[in-house]
Amino acid sequence: MRTDRSAVRLLGLLPLATLAALTALAAAWPELGRAGVRPRAGGELLVALPATPRQLDPALATSAADQIAARAVHATLLEVDAWGGLRPGLLAALPEAEPGGRAFRCRLRPGLRFHDGSPLGAAEVAASLARLLQPTTRSPHAWVALPIEGAEAVRTGRAGALSGVQVLSPTELRIALAVPFPDFPRVLAALPSAVVPRSGGGRIGAGPFQVAQPSADLPARPGAGAAAQGALRVVPFDGHWRGRPYLDALSLVGLDAREAARTFGRGEVLVAIRPEPIPQAAMLELPALSATYASVNRARLAGRAEPVRRALAAINRVELVRLFVRGPAAPLHGLLPAAALGGGQTPPSPPAPPPSGDAGRLTLLVSSDAPFHRAVADRLQVKLFDRGVKVAVEAVPAEVFAVRAQRKDYDLALLEVPLQTVTPVPAALQAAFALDGPATALESLAALGTADRGALPAHLASLEERLDAVPLFAAALRVSARPGAVQGLLPGADGGIDFGDVWLLSQRSGNGAP
């Protein structure tokens, strides 16, 4: 393990409680996180996910399964280690901030290449950042490039490139921001900022694994059970900047809870990343960064918005989490979850306000593909009815939900925001973008970007008021691994797993004397 002093320095940016939690997280996973033996190459790992990954484009991946797969295929400029520190990824060193925190100089490692052999240089970084904003991409992660000068012109189609990104040489670039944002390097560690080739459709990257061929055409893996059928199978990329991964192949497959437990019990699946615990597994909870909000469309509800919002705010979120959320979760009593803010005591839910009177019949839009969101929506329906708000739940497919959410085509909606960073300001930027669009996000960044730590809670509370979103809960997934079989499975503080570090211990001999 390389000692990364700069990463340690950057730990100062994290709240102490978060740091303690992260340290505890790493320590709780010793068997799988740190090996006392040298990694062994070879073997194929089948991982059970909530769904089979379909979207590998880091600019578009939003579900947990897609993001896990996208992280295996793509590489970011910076990375977050298990303790929350930043370390160089594709960059040779951490970005150098210019005075004022409005510009950063970045230098790439030499000789970087994509899976298809094409070179990865500063021009590709600039293009990838612009791509996030381009209207044709329709990326829900445009917030990553939003702080960069010229973002608005690209976002509205008036420019193809970001004026704030200067390519200084094939491996150097300067990124100028529209507002001071010292935490901008944290954004460059978020998965959506991964660098993609200008023609790749998101399936070609520079990550540790590459998609060899369409998974449907793959020959059956020798010894593979039925669980592997239809899995996304990726193979090692020899040219990854950290070196070839240990595994010979990684297969990611969507299995429901029962099937995941069954195949895990048979030894066919060695790792499951799902909300539910799996018997006989070594387990680790990833940080609860998937925040769910009840968004109130003030533009549509006008005067009815405030009573509805107050009714939503009065709902007992502790109970909501306990009864309806599967897997590890925590009630949200502020805009950001503890994992991104520093935790602390969970405040009690506010007392229920008096009935608000008839606000008319509203529609609560929910994605039918989001796990347990339908159950949560039904609960909200009941609780809102108790407070005089009549709501009809409308469940739509994820694709439809995404379009309607972006257009704000709803009265109320359950919005899930998979936060990509564990640092408050970038997380708030993402939440503001997801809940209220780019203008609010940029304005919030102007207020938050240079706010000192003491003033941050007030700024976040103010932003929460403005967003017309009631935070409900933050959920996480569990990583379950077969004890003694899998090594190197140490997630970053942001929940990201580098499967390139994972190796199989199976068939090793015991430790007995000969």
Partner 1 sequence: MFLGGVTGRTWAAPPGAPEPGALHRAAAELAERFVAGAEGRSRVTLLVLASAREELRSAAETALASALTQRGLTVSVLPAREAPQAESVARTEGADWLLRVRPVLGAGGRELTLSGEGLITAANFFLQRAQAPRPRPTHLLTATVPADQEVRQLGRDPRDLDTHGERRIGIRPLWKIEGRVLALAAGDVGDRAVSLVAVTAEAVLLYSAQGELLDRRGTEKLTPGPPVRDPAATVAVGDFGGGRIAYRLAGAAEGEVLAVPFDPGAPRPARLSLAAALPAAPLCAGSAGPLFGAFVPGRSALADRLEPRFDPAGRPRSPREYQVVAAAPRPGRVAYAALGTDDALQLLGPALEPLGPPVQGIGAGFALADLDGSGEPELVASSAEPGVQDRVRVLRLAGSTPETIFESPTVSGSILAGAAADLTGDGLDDAILAALVPGTAPGVSVTQLYLVTGDPRGTP
Q: Provide the binding-site residues for partner 1, judged by CB under 8 A.
A: 1-5, 7-8, 11, 19, 22-23, 26, 30-31, 34-41, 81-85, 238, 240-246, 487, 500-501, 505, 507-514
Cα(329)–Cα(318) distance, integer angstroms: 10
Instruction: Compare residues 38 and 158 and give the one whose CB is closer to partner 1.
Output: 38
Which residue, 184 or 246, is less far from partner 1 as judged by CB?
A: 246
Q: Shortest approach of partner 1 to residue 9 CB, angstroms?
A: 10
Give CA separation, 242 vs 43, 126, 246, 444, in Å: 19, 22, 11, 36
- Measured N-to-C along each axis, helices 424-436 and 438-448 cross at an angle, to the nearest 10 degrees, of 160
| Among 33, 22, 26, 37, CA closest to 502 | 33
Q: What is the rounded distance in angstroms from the CA atom of residue 207 to the CA atom of residue 416?
A: 26
CB of 422 to partner 1, least distance (A): 14
Nearest residue (CB) to partner 1, 1 versus 299: 1
HSE-up (13 A, CA, CB side) for residue 296: 26
Q: Minimal distance in Å, beta carbon 100 to partner 1?
A: 29
Residue 95 CB, nearest approach to partner 1 (Å):
19
* Least gap, CB of 44 to partner 1 (angstroms): 17
The two structure tokens encoding residue 307: 């009573």
Min dist CB 114 to partner 1, Å, is 16
Query: With b meaning 16 or more CB within 10 Å and e meaning fewer, what string describes 167-179?
Result: beeebebbbbbbb
Alpha helices in 117-216 (DSSP H): 122-133, 151-155, 184-187
CB nearer to partner 1: pick between 12 and 454: 12
**DSSP conformation letters of 49-71:** ESS------TTT--SHHHHHHHH
CB of 242 to partner 1, least distance (A): 5
Nearer to partner 1, 236 or 331 (CB): 236
DSSP H helices in 11-63: 16-27, 30-33
Q: Find the shortest distance in angstroms from Cβ 42 to partner 1.
A: 9
> Cβ closer to partner 1: 117 or 512?
512
Among candidate residues 54, 19, 5, the one with its CA nearest the CA of residue 343: 19
Query: Strand 209-211 relative to strand 232-236: parallel, antiparallel, unpaired?
Result: antiparallel
CB of 497 to partner 1, least distance (A): 15
Buried b (16+ CB within 10 A) or exposed e, 128-143: bbbbbbbeebebbbbb
Which CB atom, from 21 or from 364, has the smaller least distance to partner 1?
21
Q: Please, which residue, 8 or 398, has the CB nearer to partner 1? A: 8
Nearest to 339 by CA among 233, 196, 473, 501: 473
Nearest distance from C-beta of residue 89 to partner 1, angstroms: 13
Question: 244 with 493: CB under 8 angstroms?
Answer: no
Taking the least distance from each CB to partner 1, the nearer of 11 and 69 is 11
Which residues are CB-contacts of 335 (< 8 A; sequence separation ≥ 6)? 428, 431, 460, 461, 463, 464, 467, 469, 471
- Looking from the CA of 477 toward its CB, the CA atoms found within 13 Å total 24
Q: Name which of 6 and 169 has its Cβ closer to partner 1.
A: 6
Residue nearer to partner 1 on the CB measure, 209 or 401: 209
**Residue matched to tokens 């195949």:** 263
Closest approach of Cβ 313 to partner 1, in Å?
A: 37
Report whether 350 contacts 313 (CB < 8 A).
yes
